[in-house]
Amino acid sequence: MENSGFYSIFGKSFKIMQKHRILTFILLIFIAFGCKNEHTASSEASVSEEKNETKAPTFGIVIHGGAGTILKENMSDSLEAAYKAKLEEAIRTGHEILKNGGSAMEAVTKTINIMEDSPLFNAGKGSVFTHEETNELDASVMDGATLNAGAVTGVTQIKNPIDLALSVMNDSPHVMLSGKGAETFAQEQGFELVDPSYFYTENRFQSLQRVKEREAQKADAEKMVFTDPFIKDAKFGTVGCAALDKNGNLAAGTSTGGMTNKRWNRIGDAPIIGAGTYANNATCAVSSTGWGEYFIRAMVAHDISALMEYKGLSLEAAAKEVIQKKVPELGGDGGIVSIDKDGNVAMEFNTAGMYRAHMNAEGELVIGIYSE
């Protein structure tokens, strides 16, 4: 009987201990689960805070107004001030569009319009003269998001060729239209044709006369093109723009009157996609200015993008490789402006000067003319 009572008491104690252990185990599970939830909530809050602290989308714009033998000693203070003022007006126009959430393509075309309307630059109003004393204008645009592009060549009655290039891209099944056909298309799209006399400027006309006089002094005019510094410099002059918008889209555009004294409806690099203009959201947007024949052969604009995409070079390194090595080795010169998908900018040239400007998302403005 005594053993029976002992076992009875022991059994009850054992059961009580088991219950306590079970309750303790359950309590530990709840505590662990609560800590896990708290950690998860803390992690989610941390991620949310990181998202809220993400930087605002970057954007930027860069322009050129031509490259060549641009020397301080040959530039009056008033002319230098005029160039700087127009470069600033142009780039601020595009920057304001980007700042307000506009597209890179809109910024590019509106910026180039400012330079096309100025007689200071070899594009639009200030276009140089052909050998026949006419003006033949070229332009192109490219959209980095779609790789779509548009270009026009040899137009003589289009006030703003960059706008017509944009229309070719958006409103036609083609990439490039030339001459009379391009102008017929322009009329169908509602463009107003201007009288060719609109493009006449006295200083450009006199430049042509000086080139012709120089040619008359030489028996071998073809050879002179490559050796006479005065004639070589007559090949430069273009305006261009590259931009990155807040949505991460890149665009580029280029517009020009070509080279002074050009013959036979010559076409340079400006309207050639991959040579004078290129944009690809995966890499960069580029606008070229220089001796077009060499920029076409080197496919300058696309080559910079390709070096970034296939070789992993930075924009700065790729631009240097093409402008400071590849083009000079062929015998050409000139420059580019470019912006990459992260907002980095390159303004690379191998001539004595290049009219250029850049503005970033913070609104910092850089304007340059000479090589130093």
CA dist 274 and 256 (Å) reads: 16
User: How is residue 115 annotated by DSSP?
Assistant: H
Distance CA 227, CA 183 (A): 36
CA proximity to 151, closest of 182, 125, 123: 182
| Partners of 61 in the β-ladder | 243, 359
For this structure, is 238 an active site residue?
Answer: yes
Among 153, 238, 277, 351, the one annotated catalytic? 238
CA proximity to 248, closest of 283, 274, 273: 283
Query: Which two three-digit tokens encode residue 149?
Result: 């592009």
Helix (H) or strand (E) holding 325: none
> Which residues are 242's β-sheet partners?
62, 252
CA–CA gap between residue 272 and residue 257 (Å, rounded)? 14
What is the secondary structure of 37-80 as a DSSP string? Answer: HHHHHHHHHHHHHHHHTPPPPP-EEEEEEEEE---GGGS-HHHH
Cα–Cα nearest to 301, from 241, 366, 365, 357:
241
Distance CA 369, CA 347 (A): 11
Task: Judge whether 240 and 337 are in contact, CB under 8 Å.
Answer: yes
Distance in angstroms (rounded) separating the CA atoms of residues 33 and 46? 20
Taking a C-beta distance cutoff of 8 angstroms, is the pair 78, 345 a contact? no
Q: Which single residue is written with the structure tokens 């200030």?
A: 126
DSSP state of 326: I
**Catalytic positions, written as ranges:** 238
